[in-house]
Amino acid sequence: MCGIVAFIGSRDASPLLLDGLRKLEYRGYDSAGLATVTIRENEKEGFVTCKRAKGKLVNLVELIEQSGAPGHLGIGHTRWATHGKPEEHNAHPHRDASGDIAVVQNGIIENHNYLRQDLEKQGVSFLSETDTEVIPHLISKELQRLLDLGKLPSGSVLLEAVIEVMKLLEGAYAIAVIWSKTPDSLVVVKKQTPLVIGLGEGEFFCASDMPALTGFTRTILPMEDDEMALLTPLGIELYDVNGQRKNRSPLFLSGVDQVIDKQNFRHFMLKEIHEQPDTAELWVSRYLSNDLETGAFLGGPYDAPIFESIEEIQILACGTSRHAGMVGAYLLEQFAGIRTSVFFASEFRYAPPPLSPNTLTIGVTQSGETADTLAALAMEHQRRTSLNNIEFASLQLGITNCPESSLALQVSNILDIGAGIEVGVAATKTFLGQLLAFYGLAINIAARRKSRSRTEIRNLCRELKAIPSQIKDLIKNHNQMAESLAHRFADTEDVVFLGRGINYPIALEGALKLKEISYIHAEGYPAGEMKHGPIALLDQRVPVISIATPGVVFEKVLSNAQEAKARDATLIGIGPKIPETEIFDFLLPIPKVSEWASPLLTVIPMQLLSYYIAAQRGLDVDQPRNLAKSVTVE
């Protein structure tokens, strides 16, 4: 989704801004722009240069190569259209009428219509359809008021104006503002949308996401909600919304830089599919005890005594993360014996179920920035606090791949899935990491509650230890198989994915993966529901991909598949190569494992098949149309 980068220092700003924006490209965008401030010789005041281009960043780069954007201070933006089409005039930065103030914004200004109408009545003309454009006009008016009072242009005056304007803005947003009259000041604001300041030597950066700072600095100051900062080449001044100074020490990021490198893979998605054995290996080494005989099965942030008293679990997530939550709920209920519900975070925040006692709330988000998930968690915290359910208000667990994200600032117990940066918009290795986190939690709870015998728990742990090498073999064996099967989908317009029990969410995930990157219409269904409607869609043009692994619903899944075959659908199976699975026209074989462990394997052929179908169609697999990697607006 939209990305912000800002710089102030003594180096040329535009190459640094472009470099930062390049590192945010993977998040998805449809136009880009930047603005810088510089001073002409013999002049006191500066001027703003603003360049914007529709489409990929390369268009902006060309524009800047042709006509330049001088200055040591600047702001940059990649825009994912919300208000107004992805056209140049809607790209950020937006400026006031004089062109002296430039603003980039991530988020949504909810009352922009009202503000716009009000400004129009005062004679302001708008050049875009965006919600953002109200901001530079409002700042301009406020600055004029302050100058009329006799104040001289300075960073503090710009800050004062922004504080006043913030009082008028409703919504969740992060903004960065520059003004031609203050060529040594950058003002940034965070309100429920991520923003992090990076501290270099005599220079400062600001970005919506950590990857944009890679290679610039490892010293960071993540901004908190309702915080603003004035950045000059001399330092950072942090303020609250009332203009009161705040102090907080920066953090130093240890570990290796998250390098965004495709290596020899054609797409990031394919690379990330291949990284899954490492994700699983890391999880096994981090969380699965070597000594399964001791009964100390699993580490993780579950040591607080309060975890003993959990009676119920609710999982809040979106998209793929919700599918991981659904597998998690199956494990938690069926393996660990604890009542668990899964919610679309976007629905939960407006229609939560009645409060249940002793409930652990889990937020699952690979990016840790998904607005709906964060808001649902915050709403639940608030709801329990106001009803004096304080202990459980704070008992929230966040499962994420980004432990420096907003989720980690909001939720005290964080489980880091450690999958490394995921660049492809379609989640693959982070899904696997999320699944494993739920296996860990289910095992931990089953051991605590003694809902499973030590032997049962030990057996599942043993299976999980074998998963990394099984995934490795699966990827090796399926690469070619999926690639050649994908050719059969050249003219396919609809696909049905079927699964049951623990593999029903994998059918949903298979359908989501396929539609996201190949734009083929796909439905995931619990196999038993087919005959209640969707079977009407089937004929020889609609392939049916059915997950069939031995277990409680194996025979049922096979007979549901037969029903599809009787309607002439091409049947593709995902399951072990055994006589029963010979009913499939094509089989994508997986090793024979227990039903419990099967989703960790059945998802792999799904990912590969979707990938090859999209790649063969020549589509932009890593940045599919209309999608963003982290969805920071509601």
The CB-of-172 to ligand M6R minimum distance in angstroms stands at 15
The answer to whether residue 370 forms part of the interface with ligand M6R (CB under 6 A) is yes
The answer to whether residue 527 forms part of the interface with ligand M6R (CB under 6 A) is no
x/- map, 224-243, ligand M6R, by CB under 6 A: --------------------
Please name the residue that has the structure tokens 């933006």. Answer: 77
Q: Find the part of the chain contacting ligand M6R (CB under 6 A) among 40-48, 306-314, 593-601, 623-631.
A: 623-631
d(CA 230, CA 365): 31
The CB-of-88 to ligand M6R minimum distance in angstroms stands at 27
Q: Which is nearer to ligand M6R, 300 or 624 (CB)?
A: 624
Phi, psi of 487 (to 5 degrees): -60, -30
The answer to whether residue 203 forms part of the interface with ligand M6R (CB under 6 A) is no
Q: Closest Cα to residue 614, out of 509, 497, 506, 483? A: 483
The answer to whether residue 367 forms part of the interface with ligand M6R (CB under 6 A) is yes
The answer to whether residue 631 forms part of the interface with ligand M6R (CB under 6 A) is yes
Q: Which is nearer to ligand M6R, 73 or 399 (CB)?
A: 399
Q: Which is nearer to ligand M6R, 370 or 598 (CB)?
A: 370
The CB-of-365 to ligand M6R minimum distance in angstroms stands at 3
The answer to whether residue 425 forms part of the interface with ligand M6R (CB under 6 A) is yes
Contact with ligand M6R (CB under 6 A): which of 182, 346, 373, 444? 373
Contact 363, 407 (CB under 8 A): yes
Residue 563 parent element (H or E): helix 554-565
Q: Find the part of the chain contacting ligand M6R (CB under 6 A) among 39-47, 184-192, 421-429, 459-467.
A: 421-429
DSSP-assigned letters across all residues of 174-233:
EEEEEETT-TT-EEEEEESS--EEEE-SS-EEEESSGGGGTTT-SEEEEPPTTEEEEEET
The answer to whether residue 516 forms part of the interface with ligand M6R (CB under 6 A) is yes
The answer to whether residue 623 forms part of the interface with ligand M6R (CB under 6 A) is no
Q: Find the part of the chain contacting ligand M6R (CB under 6 A) among 87-95, 315-323, 382-390, 563-571.
A: 315-323
The CB-of-127 to ligand M6R minimum distance in angstroms stands at 31
User: What's the half-sphere exposure (Cβ side, CA atoms, 13 Å) at 211?
Assistant: 20
Q: Which is nearer to ligand M6R, 431 or 584 (CB)?
A: 431
Q: Which residues pair with 105 in a beta bridge?
A: 175
d(CA 105, CA 188): 10
Contact 306, 413 (CB under 8 A): no
The token pair that represents 236 in the structure block: 């950072």
Q: Which is nearer to ligand M6R, 510 or 576 (CB)?
A: 510
The answer to whether residue 407 forms part of the interface with ligand M6R (CB under 6 A) is no
Residue least distant from ligand M6R (Cβ): 319
Question: Sign of the C-alpha dihedral, residues 184, 188, 194, 196?
Answer: positive
Q: Closest Cα to residue 286, out of 402, 394, 439, 411? A: 439
Where in the sequence numbering do the catalytic residues fall? 2, 629
The answer to whether residue 318 forms part of the interface with ligand M6R (CB under 6 A) is yes
The answer to whether residue 365 forms part of the interface with ligand M6R (CB under 6 A) is yes
Q: Which is nearer to ligand M6R, 474 or 508 (CB)?
A: 508
Please name the residues in contact with 100: beta carbons below 8 A apart, sequence gap of 6 or more.
47, 48, 140, 179, 180, 181
The CB-of-513 to ligand M6R minimum distance in angstroms stands at 6
Q: Find the part of the chain contacting ligand M6R (CB under 6 A) among 28-36, 263-271, 313-321, 594-602.
A: 313-321
Contact with ligand M6R (CB under 6 A): which of 33, 76, 153, 319? 319
The CB-of-588 to ligand M6R minimum distance in angstroms stands at 20
Q: Which residues pair with 232 in a beta bridge?
A: 235
The answer to whether residue 427 forms part of the interface with ligand M6R (CB under 6 A) is yes
For helices 504-518 and 319-330, the axis angle rounded to 10 degrees is: 170
Contact 197, 204 (CB under 8 A): yes
The answer to whether residue 192 forms part of the interface with ligand M6R (CB under 6 A) is no
What Å distances lie between residue 602 and 402, 478, 509, 513, CA to CA?
26, 12, 11, 14
The CB-of-302 to ligand M6R minimum distance in angstroms stands at 21
Phi, psi of 317 (to 5 degrees): -165, 175
The token pair that represents 30 in the structure block: 């449809």
Residue 498 parent element (H or E): strand 494-499
Q: Which is nearer to ligand M6R, 427 or 527 (CB)?
A: 427
Residues that bind ligand M6R (CB under 6 A): 318-321, 365-367, 370, 373, 425-427, 516, 627, 630-631
